[in-house]
Structure 1
């Protein structure tokens, strides 16, 4: 894996489990065990990065627990607390038609049907019913439901989203 690829934060190490180097993970994925689909992770903290290999993983009581190669005791595991877990974007499975990874939507420019640029997608929120785009720009912060009623087009090539959304919404 090279440094030129896009790394996507997928969670963080929140603590240790047991004495043999197992870690407790807070996953920022739809399903916590989705992280187990990726054998190589990059851990990041304070601008420093370290590539690691996933040795084993499981969910217990709704919590993701993993064992990384070379992390064999509680002290080594404890030193990794707070590290962000990143996965290379190229390792993601292709999205289904009309489905998008959040990582791909962040950074896209949002314009409305009048051609006015509302801003850039800075984040997404999960509300239960549907996801919501958080758009920041010259007209302030807009929260736009990511549903076909409001999102007319998503163009990956030009990194643009057209929304049926007024300035006063």
Structure 2
């Protein structure tokens, strides 16, 4: 199998530590409900630090490694995973810090008005007056709804936190990486 492009992979978590003596890894998932991570039959690991929304050079591309997943389960807020070829604690510890990625094709198809959060990161946010609010740099869940962090992608400075609800989000145009919000610059 050829190594996919990072554009075709979605980061779901990072290896936090080794778990036990048999080579299991403890993963800190990016989602509160890591259903895709728990059900994946194979994952790609990358020890390259994150450089931004899918942008990576050819050297980093070559360092992706595919692993078959033997088992994955939740344990105290983390995912404990057993990978083929990782059989002892030393091998598992060597993977500490690795990013866990899966193919976009593993994710189920979504409805018209639903979005994978990873696709919203990097979108330019504008208001109804066509004023640029900034770029979506992060998305979190607060229990009632999602919250998008808008700011400067270079410095990762958050300027505004905006609820991701229908009354505020007027349009999402993923093809043009643009989100129109009923929101003001000074809110």
Bigger proportion of residues as helix: 2
- Total equivalences in the alignment: 167
Which of 140, 156, 169 is the aligned partner of 2:174? 156
Q: Distance in 2 between matches of 1:123 and 1:63?
A: 21
1:72 positional shift: 0.9
Q: In 2 relative to 1, CA 33–19 (structure 1 residues): closer, same or farther, beyond 3 Å?
A: farther
Q: Distance in 1 between matches of 2:77 and 2:121?
A: 28
Structure 2 partner of 1:165: 183
Q: Which sections of structure 1, spanning at least 5 residues, go unmatched? A: none
Q: In 2 relative to 1, CA 4–84 (structure 1 residues): closer, same or farther, beyond 3 Å?
A: closer
Q: Which sections of structure 2, spanning at least 5 residues, go unmatched? A: 49-59, 153-157
Superposed, which structure 2 residues align to 1:1-169 within 5 Å?
A: 1-3=3-5, 5-46=7-48, 47=60, 48-137=63-152, 141-169=159-187
Bigger proportion of residues as strand: 1
Q: TM-score, normalised by structure 1?
A: 0.88
1:146 positional shift: 0.4
- Whether the 8 Å contact between 1:32 and 1:63 is mirrored in structure 2 is no
Q: Distance in 1 between matches of 2:130 and 2:30?
A: 33
**Secondary structure in structure 2 of the residue aligned to 1:82:** coil
1:23 positional shift: 1.3
Q: In 2 relative to 1, CA 62–141 (structure 1 residues): closer, same or farther, beyond 3 Å?
A: closer
Q: TM-score, normalised by structure 2?
A: 0.80
Q: Distance in 2 between matches of 1:37 and 1:155?
A: 29
1:98 positional shift: 1.8
